[in-house]
Each structure stands twice: as structure tokens, then as C-alpha cells.
Amino acid sequence: MSDALAAVLLLGGSFFMLVASVGLIRLPDVYCRMHAATKATTFGMGGILLGASLIFQSTTVTTQALLAIFFLFLTAPVAAHLISRAAYKRGPDLCADTAHDEYGKYLEGQKEEEESPDQYGDA
């Protein structure tokens, strides 16, 4: 029984990893791709780790798997956040379908503030 459950978890996990990879290829720009890369990989990885802990049936492996899942959920979004932020500031443009961009306006506003230094009274 637990073997069957482990198999389901492992296969399901691998499937979501596959979905993430297909997403990386199909989606149009770096930001959309991060959606697939973060969500589906954390979920897929979680499934694979849980499946592994079911197979090994040992306290050590289970705690390690649970901790790995926990840390994965903590770190994956941080990486995605930094990658997309860096991408926005340095290079790749938003894809042509992008309908709305408030972040660009915010950065423009910041630039204007920097260009008028008298605002800070250090002229």
C-alpha cells in the first residue's frame, strides 16, 4: 500500500517537474517562465521527497525530507524574486503581450527623484 502511494507521489512529482520544463520552453518571457519554474518545481520536488521518505521508512530520511521541503519553500521564491528583479533592471524586456506595467512607472519615478537632487537639500 505504501509502495503504491510512494509510486503515485514519485510519478506525480516527476510529472510536475516535466510541466515546469515544458513551461520554461513555452512561456514567452523570463517573468512568465519564473511562474512555471517556481511553482511546479517546488510542488514536484515536494512530491518526490515525500515519495522517497515513504520508500525508506526511516525517521532520519523522513525528517530530512520534511526539512528539505521546508527550506525549498523558503528559498525558491527568494531566488525567483531576485532573478526577475535583476532581469527587469538589467535586460530582457517584458513580452509583447504584457498589458500593464506599474513597476516600470515606479522605477521611472525613482529615477526622476534621483535626477533632481535639490529635493534632498544637499545642493
Q: Using CB under 8 A as the criterion, which residues of the chain lie in contact with other proteins when the complex forms?
A: 16, 19-20, 22-23, 26-29, 31-32, 34-36, 38-40, 42-43, 60-61, 63-64, 67, 73-74, 76-78, 80-81, 84-85, 88, 94-95, 97-104, 106, 110
CB of 43 to other proteins, least distance (A): 4
> Inter-axis angle of helices 2-26 and 30-56, to 10 degrees?
170
Which set of grid coordinates corresponds to residue 75? 528559498
Nearer to other proteins, 5 or 82 (CB): 82
Nearer to other proteins, 3 or 90 (CB): 90
Nearer to other proteins, 3 or 59 (CB): 59
Backbone angles phi, psi at 97, to 5 degrees: -75, -15
Please state the separation of Cα 91 from the chain's center in Å: 19
Cβ neighbours of 83 (radius 10 Å): 16
CB of 63 to other proteins, least distance (A): 5
CB of 103 to other proteins, least distance (A): 4
Please state the separation of Cα 60 from the chain's center in Å: 28
CB of 47 to other proteins, least distance (A): 10
Backbone angles phi, psi at 116, to 5 degrees: -115, 80
Residue type, 2: S
Nearer to other proteins, 5 or 28 (CB): 28
